Amino acid sequence: MSTVEVGLHCDGDAWEPEHLTFVEDAGFDILTTGEHIVFHRPILEAVSVLGYAAAVTSKIKLAPATLILPLRHPTMVAKYFSSLDVLSKGRIILTVGAGGDYPREFHACGVPKQERGIRSTEAIEIIKKYWSGGRFDYHGKIFQLEDVDLLPLPVQPGGPPIWVSGRSNGAMRRAAVLGDGWHPYFFTPAQCRESFSQVKAIAADTGRTLPENYVFACFIYCSMYDDVKEARDRAIETLSYRYKQPFEKIVDKYCAYGPPSRVVESLSRFVEAGASKLLIGLIMPAEERLAYIERFAKEVLPELHRLEAASVP
């Protein structure tokens, strides 16, 4: 069993420096940001946000949740995140996904959507080769590289851990074979537990024994209001806007909501399912951000830090 770490998500919004340092000082373990390139609402690009966050913080881990990997060339991803790891003194986690929910951004980036799976697999292989040091060649179905290397290497030996995010069997296979962690989103605790076991089984089938520090993470939105109906209504409103789809029928499955005690109860189910990392998207008014973060840090975060993740069969 492993002690739970908790991340807070800034969702690709433009937070002030003092907001980012407040998250760090409040005791959160990880700061994450989302991203899309072409999207239906304003959202910042992840590498830029992480560089900005690295400059104003000193100890909190930093991660995209989640970088849409096939939209970038893996050489550039390796360079971006190696540089971020150097500048942050080894605080970077690289969470990657294949994307595909918004086809317009694939077209805008000149990437065929149907290639997103193979591009993601090859990209992870290439990034790991760059971070291992030395020159190498790579001949894949998509990417062809000859006599390449990368300096400076990341601070973390072998590079930042790579967590694979997603919901599909293909994503789980990438996590099992190539990843340092599996990070589903919009999964119930039961779905998380099933996927954790599936990733472990896929790894075993390929001859890989997952290391003890392999990460099972979950991303969960939280709407923390004392009135349960208000919390639910605000979650529906916010998530329907963020994802441009109705959430009335699915909010109960994919969002923890209500007063702090109810939120703790909901989040603890993910830990019981085997999650050792909880990444929280806190639904809150931008103008009251610090007050909401402070309340979560005082009334929810300590309870989560006391939990230990259940072992995954």
pLDDT per residue as tens, the chain (313 positions): 678 999 999 999 999 999 999 999 999 999 999 999 999 999 999 999 999 999 999 999 999 999 999 999 999 999 999 999 999 999 999 999 999 889 999 999 999 999 999 999 999 999 999 999 999 999 999 999 999 999 999 999 999 999 999 999 999 999 999 999 999 999 999 999 999 999 999 999 999 999 999 999 999 999 999 999 999 999 999 999 999 999 999 999 999 999 999 999 999 999 999 999 999 999 999 999 999 999 999 999 999 999 999 999 8
By the 10 Å C-beta count (0-12 exposed, 13-18 middle, 19+ buried), 170 is classed as middle
Domains and CATH numbers, the chain: 5-305 (3.20.20.30)
Question: What is the model's pLDDT at position 2?
Answer: 74
65, 127, 175, 211, 214 from 179: Cα distances, Å: 15, 11, 4, 11, 8
pLDDT in tens, 65-117: 999 999 999 999 999 999 999 999 999 999 999 998 899 999 999 999 999 99
CB 77 within 8 A of CB 67: yes
Q: How many residues does the structure list for the chain?
A: 313
CB 125 within 8 A of CB 178: yes
Those residues with Cβ within 8 angstroms of residue 255's Cβ, 6 or more apart along the chain or in another chain: 220, 221, 222, 223, 235, 239, 247, 283
